[in-house]
Amino acid sequence: MDFLVFIKQVPDTDEVKVDEESGTIIREGVPSILNPFDEYALNLALRLKEGMEDEVNITAMSMGPPQAKDALKKCLAIGADRGILLSDKVFGGADTWATSFTLFKGVEKMGGADLYFSGQEATDGNTAQVGPELASHLNLSSMTYVEDVLDINPKEGYLTAKKETDEGFIKLKSELPVVLSCMTPPDFEPKIPGVKEIMKAKNKPLDTWNHDDLGGTEEEYGLEGSESQVISTYPPPSKGPGEKFEGPAEEGAEKIFALLKDEGVCDD
C-alpha cells in the first residue's frame, strides 16, 4: 500500500511578526517548524504501517519555498520513506484552493495513493480547508477531525476512524482510498528521531517538482489560480497582566466575583 501525508512548514507561532505596512507575515529570519497537526498525521500513518501485514510505503508531500525541505527532512527522519517538495515561484500567493490544486497535481504525477493523510489545519492559517478541497479534486470521500484510525482492512477496502464532534466522538466507516484530516489528541507525544534515524534519512529520496513537472497553465496556480485573497494580516492584541488573588478560597472567590461584576461580565 501507498500512504501519502501532506505536510506544511509553518512559522513558529511564538515568533510570528507582521509587517505593519503590508499586513503580511514576516517569514524571513523567523524560525519554522513542521505543522503540529501534520506531524500527528504522519505519526498516525507510521503507526498504521507498523500494524499491517502488507508492505506500506509512506510519502510526505509539501508545497512551499525551497527551505520547506527542512520539514520534509524531519518527516524522513521520523519514518517517512520518501519526500516530495512542490516548489516554484508560480505557486506563490496561493490560497487554500490553489494550494490544494497544486498538491492534487503532485498526486497525479506520483500516481496516487491508497490512503491520504493531512493535518486538520495549519497553525499559520487555521482554515481547515485544504484536506476537504483535496478530496474534492481527487473525487474521494473526506473524513475530518479524525483522532484515530480504529480499523483498516485493505482486502475489503475500508477503514473505520474515530472522529471528534461537538457532542463527543463517533465512529465512521469509509471505503478506501479516503482523505483523513487529523486532529492531534491531548496525549500525543511527537516522535523524536535519534542520530541514527537522521543519518538514515539522508539516503532517502527527496524530490523537488516545479510547475513544468506538474503541467497545466500558470493561471491555475498561485495567486492567479486563487479564488480568494488575503487583504491584511495582523497579530491578536496582546493581553494585559493578570491579577492574582491570595488568601482563603472564599475570600478569593468574592474578589473574583466583584471584579467580574465591575467588568459587566455578571450581574448580582
Q: For residue 19, what pLDDT is reported?
A: 63
Please give the CATH architecture assigned to the domain spanning 2-220: 3-Layer(aba) Sandwich (3.40)
Q: For residue 264, what pLDDT is reported?
A: 77
Q: Write out residues in the chain with pLDDT < 50, as ranges.
A: none
pTM of the model: 0.82
pLDDT in tens, 99-149: 999 999 999 999 999 999 999 988 887 888 999 999 999 999 999 999 999
What torsion, rounded to 10 degrees, do the Cα atoms 18, 23, 28, 34 define?
Answer: 70
Q: For residue 241, what pLDDT is reported?
A: 76
Domain boundaries, the chain: 2-220
